Amino acid sequence: MKVLGYLIVGIFFGIVMFKSEAASWFRIYEMFQFQSFHMYGIIGSALVIGILGIQLIKRKKLKDFNGQKIHFVPKEKGFTRYILGGTIFGLGWALAGACPGPIYTLIGAGYVSVIVVFLAAILGTFVYGLLKDKLPH
Amino acid sequence: MDIILQPWPWYVSGPLIALIMFILMFMGKKFGMSSNLKTLCTLCGADKKSEFFSFDWKAQRWNLVVVIGAAIGGFIGMYFLSPNPAVNINPETVSTLQNLGFESAGKAYLPEELYSLGALTNIKSLSILIIGGFLIGFGARWAGGCTSGHAISGLSSLQLPSLIAVIGFFIGGLLMVHLLFPLIF
C-alpha cells in the first residue's frame, strides 16, 4: 500500500515537472538569461508556501501520517562544499538543462537521449564518491 | 480540461511542488531527488570501491519508487496532457538561441540539436550530454543536494547551507550560459 502511495506521489511530481515546463531545457536557459519570470515564479511560490507550511508544522508540532514527530535535520555546516559543489551542479544544470528529478520525467516522456545524461550523472556521483576525501568540504 | 492541456502557469506549478514536499514530509520522508543517483551507485556495487556508498540502500527504496513514478508522470504529461508540447519561451530568447544554432527554439519541448536521436551520433552533442550529466551528478553530491533538496526543501526550512548551494547553482548556471555557451555553440 505504501509503495502505491510513493508511486502516486512520483507520478504527480512527474506530471507537474512536465506540465510546468520546469523539465524543459529551454526554460532553464531562459531563466539564466533573466528573460522570463516563469522559473523564478515556480521556485519562489513553492518557497513561500514551503516556508509558511514548515513554520506551521514546527509551531503546531504537527505529526506525520504515522503519528511521528516531523524532523528537520539541519544540514551540515560549511561553505566550501556548498559553493563549489553548487557551482559544478549549476554548470551541468544549464548545459544539460535537466536536474535530477526531471531526468526521469524526460525519459518517461520518450526522450531516449536523456538516458545518456542519466548514466553520466550516475558516473559523476560515483566519481565524487571516489574523490570525496581529496575534495575540500 | 483545456486548462490542464495548456502549459501550467507558475502560480499553479510552484504551490503543487510545495504540496509534493509536504506529502512526502507527512509520509515521514524528505523531498530530494539526487540521492537516488547515490542509491543506484550502491546497487551497481559502488560500495566495494568507496565507503561513501556503504549505506542501507533499502531505506531509500521509497525514493526509487518516486522516480519511477516521475517517469510515468512524464509519459502521461507528454502523451495524454500535451497536444502541443512546444515551449513558448520569450521571443528574445528564441532569437538568441537561433543565433547560437538552436533552430528548434520555441518549437519543441527540448532542443532537437541536443536531444533528438540523430544528435546521439554527433560527437559534440553526445559529449555535451555526457559532460552535463557528469557535472550534475558530481556537483549534486558534492553540494549534498540538488534543486529539490536545497532550493526547495532546504530553503523552505531556512537552512543557510542550502542558500549557499543555491547561490552556487546560479553562479554555475550563469557562467555556463553567458561565458561558456558562446564558446561551445
pLDDT digits (tens, 9 = 90+) for B124-175: 999 999 999 999 999 999 999 999 999 999 999 999 999 999 999 999 999 9
Shared domain check, B129 and B70? no
Residue A101 domain flag: yes
Shared domain check, B74 and B122? no
Give residue B28's domain range. 1-83
Give the count of domains, chain A. 1
What are the tens digits of pLDDT across the range B40-91? 999 999 999 999 999 999 999 999 999 999 999 999 999 999 999 999 999 9
**Which residue of A9, A60, A127 is the best one to mutate when testing the B interface, meaning the one whose CB has the most B CBs within 10 A?**
A9
Residue A69 domain flag: no
Q: Mean per-residue pLDDT for A9-16?
A: 98
Give residue A85's domain range. 2-36+74-134
Single residue among B34, B65, B83 that ends a domain in this structure: B83
Residue A130 domain flag: yes
- At residue B92, the pLDDT reads 97
Q: Do residues B144 and B161 make contact, with C-beta atoms less than 8 angstroms apart?
A: yes
pLDDT of A1 > 80? The answer is no
A69: left (phi over 0), alpha (psi -120 to 50) or beta: beta
Q: Which residues are A63's β-sheet partners?
A: A69
pLDDT of A105 > 80? The answer is yes
Q: What is the model's pTM?
A: 0.97
What are the tens digits of pLDDT across the range A13-37? 999 999 999 999 999 999 999 999 9
> What is the dihedral sign for C-alpha A86, A87, A92, A97?
positive
> How far, in Å, CA of B72 to CA of A107, rounded?
9
What are the tens digits of pLDDT across the range A57-69? 999 999 999 999 9
What are the tens digits of pLDDT across the range A87-96? 999 999 999 9
**Which residue of B12, B38, B78 is the best one to mutate when testing the A interface, meaning the one whose CB has the most A CBs within 10 A?**
B78
CA distances from B111 to B176, B178, B184 (A): 17, 18, 15
Q: Does an H or E element contain B82, and which?
A: none
Distance from CA of A59 to the nearest CA of B (A): 13
Residue A45 domain flag: no
What backbone torsions phi and psi does residue A110 show, to the nearest 5 degrees? 105, 5
- At residue B1, the pLDDT reads 76
> How far, in Å, CA of B166 to CA of A93, rounded?
12
DSSP 8-state class, residue B116: S
Shared domain check, B128 and B72? no
Residue A59 domain flag: no
pLDDT of A117 > 90? The answer is yes
Residue A55 domain flag: no
Shared domain check, B77 and B7? yes
> How far, in Å, CA of B86 to CA of B88, rounded?
6
Residue A122 domain flag: yes
Shared domain check, B124 and B76? no
Shared domain check, B78 and B120? no
| Residue numbers in B near A88 (CB within 8 A) | 135, 138-139, 142-143, 168, 172
Shared domain check, B133 and B76? no
**Per-residue cell: A116:** 545518456
Residue B98 domain flag: no
CB pairs under 8 A between A and B: 491
- At residue A12, the pLDDT reads 98
Give the count of domains, chain B. 2
Amino acid at B88: N
Residue B108 domain flag: no
pLDDT of A100 > 80? The answer is yes
Residue A82 domain flag: yes
Shared domain check, B11 and B74? yes
Residues 6+ apart with CB under 8 A from B129: A96, A113, A114, A116, A117, A120, B114, B115
Q: Do residues A32 and A105 make contact, with C-beta atoms less than 8 angstroms apart?
A: no
Shared domain check, B122 and B79? no
Shared domain check, B74 and B3? yes
Q: Do residues B113 and B126 make contact, with C-beta atoms less than 8 angstroms apart?
A: no
Residue B2 domain flag: yes
Quickly state the pLDDT bin for B2 (edges 50, 70, 90): confident
Please provide the DSSP assignment of chain A as one string: -HHHHHHHHHHHHHHHHHHTTTT-HHHHHHHHTT--SHHHHHHHHHHHHHHHHHHHHHHTT-B-TTSPBPP-PPPPP-SHHHHHHHHHHHHHHHHH---TTHHHHHHHTT-TTHHHHHHHHHHHHHHHHHHGGGS--
Shared domain check, B73 and B7? yes
